[in-house]
Amino acid sequence: MNPTTDKRFALCRPSPLALAFVGLIGLATANATADQGRGSIRSAARPAARSQPSRPEPARAEPSRGEPARAEPSRAQPERPQPQRDVRQEPQRGPTASRDWDHGDEDTRHFGGYDRAVPEHIERGQRFRQLPDRHFDISWNNQHYFWDYGDGFYLPQPDGEYIVVQPPVGVIVPELPDGATAIAYGPTTYYYLDGTFYVAAPNGFAVVSPPAGIVIPDLPDGAAQVIINGSVVYQLNGLNFTPTLDGGVTAYTVTPS
């Protein structure tokens, strides 16, 4: 048994209080435009720019607890949380203005440290002998997966362990993972976390391929730096991530490699 991985799960076990706190802070990522033009009298006379989407209220239904320290993945289906409302019908909150230069604050890179509330990060390719207590069973394309309500998506291995993989396109998760950032692109609101893009679906949130040109706030883990035409570009899973300064904040434009 790997003590490191076991410790991780122990640390990640959410208490109701912790869930409430994570919910409070996680929601803060939604209000990514609350700071527009702060600190300037003149800016109040400028026309308001476009708005950013808000993050939908995540469901906080407690999942059923799996049996601890199982050698085999459980086939028992936990209680499925109720489907979420269509997030595009959520009312917008906060001001309508464009991203500001210090508005790393209000996304996951908030000055105030909102990113501290994002659950402990798991890297793709990590192997675990146990699933976290709080997990959800997902079947997709005749393959069984487990999801930990964060950015951990587990594929059972023949040896009884679980390997963390990128959620496949098409999978539907019952709720958004904590820390997902809402990004408006055309008529669609995407939700992004560590290289995975989600859109609202009837029974939750579907994993989708990103549209070319969408701008994300953070690089996914494992993105490799390359030089293309003398400029730094990051690549992962057939995608290019080109750094730009958007509203004075570093962001990454996603295009096919």
Partner 1 sequence: MKLISLSAVAVLVFAAFVSAQPATTRPTTQPSIDPVADQILRQSCEFLAQTKAFSVHAEAWKDEVLPSGHKIQVTRSEDLEVRRPDRLHVEERAHHKGRSIWYDGKTVTLMDRERTTYGVADAPATVDQVLDVLAQDYGVTVPLEDLAVADPYAGAMRNVTAGGYFGDEPVLGVPCRHIGFSTDRIDWQLWIADGEQPLPQKLVITYKNEEQSPQYIAILSKWSLTGRASDLAFEFIPPRGSQRVALTRQNERDKESAWANHESDHR
Binders of partner 1 in range 103-132 (CB under 8 A): 104-106, 109-113
3-state secondary structure the chain: CCHHHHHHHHHHCCCHHHHHHHHHHHHHCCCCCCCCCCCCCHHHHCCCCCCCCCCCCCCCCCCCECCCCCCCCCCCCCCCCCCCCCHHHCCCCCCCCCCCCCCCCCCCCCCCCHHHHCCCCCCCCCEECCCCCECEEEEECCEEEEECCCCCEEEECCCCCEEECCCCCCCEECCCCCCCEEEEECCEEEEEECCEEEEEECCEEEEECCCCCCEECCCCCCCEEEEECCEEEEEECCEEEEEEEECCEEEEEEEEC
Site membership for partner 1, residue 94 (CB under 8 A): yes
Question: With CB under 8 A, what is the number of residues at the site for partner 1?
Answer: 63
Binders of partner 1 in range 199-238 (CB under 8 A): 211, 213-215, 231-232
Binders of partner 1 in range 181-200 (CB under 8 A): 184-188
Binders of partner 1 in range 19-78 (CB under 8 A): 23-25, 27-28, 30-31, 34-46, 49-50, 54-55, 57
Site membership for partner 1, residue 99 (CB under 8 A): yes
Minimum distance from CB of 70 to partner 1 (Å)? 35
Return residues touching partner 1 (CB under 8 A).
23-25, 27-28, 30-31, 34-46, 49-50, 54-55, 57, 93-95, 98-102, 104-106, 109-113, 184-188, 211, 213-215, 231-232, 242-251, 253
